[in-house]
Amino acid sequence: MLELSILAVFIPTFFFVSATPGMCMTLSMTMGMTIGVRRTLWMMAGELIGVGLVAFLSVIGVATIMLNYPDIFSIFKYVGGAYLIYLGIQMWQSRGKMAVTEENPEHILISRNSLAFQGFVTAVANPKGWAFFISLLPPFINSSAPIAPQLTLLILIILMVEFICLLIYASGGRTMRRFLQKSGNVRLMNRIAGSLMIGVGVWLATG
């Protein structure tokens, strides 16, 4: 198992990196603003599966192959990015499945599977995420000890920290939503959320 001294360095290091605004955190904040924290949990589930997969594959060397053949990311990146941009444009226009309406602000039509898929694609289609895990994880693994328990513990810590940060961002989006709703600015809220969603889509497609 990993030594406490290693964990004492790894946990704050990954928390700092995870808490830094990025595609997944921006997506979580946007969804927290439009669909609420509870439904955003479905996006988080997909994102965490993607992060865990990327972390695992990074350690066993598959990530190196993936990074050497960037075309593998193209389908995920362009399709996922285009879909997020499409949703963002609809939200900006106060239309579509994720837009908040004054008549029924809680009525969101997007399915749980779609939310989970968005989170998964955003996590897996980011080449920078793969490169990050390749550089971060190996130094914390003792090659002279069994790798499986070490990797299991590190991934569990990664998922726990990532989930906490996603919740923080989603809660921030929900707070912004309540503030804007009180002032009657539902249209402004849709435009802010739509702009953020478009930004995540462009970021994903061009990253």
pLDDT in tens, 119-132: 999 898 877 788 78
The Cβ of residue 189 has, within 10 Å, a number of other Cβ atoms equal to 25
Largest CA distance in the chain: 62
Reported as a single tens digit per residue, the pLDDT across 127-172 is 778 878 877 787 787 777 787 888 888 999 999 999 999 999 999 9
Tell me which of 96 and 89 has the higher pLDDT. 89
* pLDDT at site 102: 58
Say how far apart CA 82 and CA 72 lie, in whole Å: 17
Q: Give the distance, in angstroms, between the CA of residue 111 and the centroid of all CA atoms in the same chain.
A: 17
Tell me the residue type at 66.
Answer: M
Say how far apart CA 16 and CA 72 lie, in whole Å: 29
Say how far apart CA 110 and CA 35 lie, in whole Å: 9
* pLDDT at site 169: 94
3-class SS of residue 55:
helix
Reported as a single tens digit per residue, the pLDDT across 15-67 is 888 888 788 898 999 999 888 899 899 999 999 999 999 988 887 776 566 65
What ranges do the domains of the chain cover? Answer: 4-206
* pLDDT at site 2: 60
